[in-house]
Chain A
């Protein structure tokens, strides 16, 4: 880690996070939105691991493990919601569900 500057790792994490954010904004397919959220969570994990290896502490890796658990929980519930969505609306367009049924 001593040879790689910390800023470059953080810039990489920022670029990946920005790409995930662009994906959430641009795509309307709900599976692509979920994938972009995965990219954003992964970029956050990269930032944590870079910080942890900069100060030679294991805390960054531990935060990444927690992010991993959260991503697994999120994707399980999210994909179950996608299945429900598809069975109800017969499409994967997220704009279809923009109106609440009050």
Chain B
């Protein structure tokens, strides 16, 4: 289990370095997804399966989809087709695919070696997390819900007023 941790840590560091050195946004996004997946595997090895699932579903799923949507909305134009043609060459996706295959191999190794049990007692189960989350941290849950509501209203407000902002700037 130690080697799995160290290999995923190496994958996480390598892919993060690739994120901050890429010139193209979508390439960086691919490497960022690999980095988040390897961090999820690290959580799984550390005995936190619930948080590992959340990392994959929310971080690598929902938040990265938001980034992809915004990049799609920004890249309108005729040069997008040419860009698309360049992006489908193998050297673009070979690096992320290689790192992801390392992670898949580690996952298969974990499941075939000792099933779903990692190291016995040290797993913190989702049930325990849920009991404490809605017990002593109930106030924090309420605050997080208020924060998400405020973010929803704020994002709606900021995204809505494209034209009024332009005309107000021109008018004043």
B13 and A68 contact, CB distance less than 8 A = no
What's the interface size class on A, roughly? 35 or more
A77 and B151 contact, CB distance less than 8 A = yes
A61 and B124 contact, CB distance less than 8 A = yes
Task: Collect the chain B residues with CB atoms within 8 Å of residue A49's CB.
Answer: 43, 46, 48, 51
Residue of A3, A58, A60 contacting most chain B CB atoms (<10 Å): A58
Interface string of B108-134 (1 = CB under 8 A from A): 000000000001001010001100110
Task: Collect the chain A residues with CB atoms within 8 Å of residue B50's CB.
Answer: 61
Task: Collect the chain A residues with CB atoms within 8 Å of residue B35's CB.
Answer: 39, 42
B158 and A62 contact, CB distance less than 8 A = no
Give complex CA distance A52, B132 in Å: 13
Interface string of B129-147 (1 = CB under 8 A from A): 1001100010010001001
B166 and A87 contact, CB distance less than 8 A = yes
Task: Collect the chain B residues with CB atoms within 8 Å of residue A20's CB.
Answer: 16, 20
Q: How many residues of B contact A (CB 8 A)?
A: 62
B74 and A92 contact, CB distance less than 8 A = yes
- Residue in A12, A62, A83 whose beta carbon sits within 8 Å of that of B13 in the complex: A12
Interface string of A26-50 (1 = CB under 8 A from B): 1101011011101100100110011
Task: Collect the chain B residues with CB atoms within 8 Å of residue A39's CB.
Answer: 16, 19-20, 32, 35
Interface residues of B (CB under 8 A from A): 1-2, 5-6, 9, 12-13, 16-17, 19-20, 25, 28-29, 32, 35-36, 39, 42-43, 45-48, 50-51, 54-55, 58-59, 62-63, 66-67, 69-71, 73-74, 119, 122, 124, 128-129, 132-133, 137, 140, 144, 147-148, 150-152, 154-155, 158-159, 162, 165-166, 169
Can you list 21 A-B pairs, Cβ within 8 angstroms, ordered by A? Answer: A12-B9, A12-B13, A19-B17, A29-B25, A31-B67, A34-B67, A35-B19, A36-B19, A39-B35, A45-B51, A49-B51, A52-B124, A53-B124, A57-B124, A62-B133, A64-B54, A65-B54, A69-B148, A70-B147, A77-B154, A77-B155
